[in-house]
Homo-oligomer: A and B are copies of this chain.
């Protein structure tokens, strides 16, 4: 297969779920896929070796954070992000647009780009779409994301519309500026919870796609920014279906198991979220019985594994009692062990989806989850 080719291997007959293979210079992504987040060129508490053993196919890193520290030039000097962080499988960088909007309280936004202050030392920077592509070119991930304007929730239609128009314009400029043939540039759909704006966003991006070298994949941004959970599913199915069937669809920043399963049913292929790693560090884990907080005294004498159907090293080696002890003693191994479990839980959930789609049992898998105790875990 050629690089950045997306081959669909199976589609569910009753919903939009599909299993595919996306080819990158660092290997194939088998979709649906969950991408662990390594914001600052490290997935918190994990070694690259542990991530490989957990079955992580691709990691995500953050352009905003890496630009500020250690700097994109230094990463280029190191031979690119793969060499810098010792990860030889695919990598994706988001543009940092989301962080600029959510972290920088000194934001200056215009049609030409975005000005922001460093959270490290206050220094001011300005990114045009072209600047942002250059930074991501230096970092060197297999998949890079266009600079976009992310809207909050709730948001007035005029602002939503402006973000849709501006993001599409920036998609065009990123597409023109991006020249590295070994990096795929994904465009990003915006439009909040407004279906008209969402579909117009898709339309604008498809127009650019047809007029240029095109986008090998599409991000769906601007969800999971505080809106009620069910609201996303009022527009997501139509948004996903409006995107080209032969390109991967990446729902950005969503990571709870129930939402992942439902989004796979809508035809989404890729996911990322800090949820599994961040909640692990607070002592909380996913399980087929729903979320568990290991600080709870009920686990003090509980010698069972976290989830007896889980094949992660934590469930193979440690009891809830031991994990409770590690959490209470604030030992680093608590974060390591719970992060391993949460990541494996989502990675395997996606492997299970893929397997089910390929064997015509996805509807059954989804129904099982919807009827389980874990369904309310958001």
Which A residues lie at the B interface, using CB under 8 A?
A: 40-42, 44-50, 69-70, 74, 77-78, 84-86, 300-301, 303, 313, 317-319, 321-322, 324-326, 328-329, 331-333, 335-337
Contact = CB atoms under 8 A, between A and B. Distances in A.
Nearest to A66: B325
A70 B300 contact: yes
A318 B41 CA distance: 12
A77 B333 contact: no
Contact of A331 (B40, B84, B328, B329): B40
B77 A336 contact: no
**Number of copies of this protein chain within its complex:** 2
Given A42-B326, A70-B321, A332-B335, 8 more contacts: A40-B331, A44-B333, A47-B337, A49-B317, A69-B325, A70-B324, A70-B328, A78-B321
Nearest to A324: B70
Contacts of A322: 41, 78, 84-86
A44 B86 contact: no
A77 B40 CA distance: 41
Contacts of A47: 50, 313, 333, 336-337
B48 A321 contact: no
B318 A42 contact: no
A119 to B, nearest CB: 12
Given A77-B301, A78-B303, A46 B325 contact: no
Given A47-B333, A322-B86, A332-B332, A74 B300 contact: yes
Nearest to A337: B47
Contacts of A333: 42, 44-47
Nearest to A87: B317
Contacts of A78: 303, 319, 321-322
Contact of A317 (B50, B86, B318, B332): B86
B300 A49 contact: no
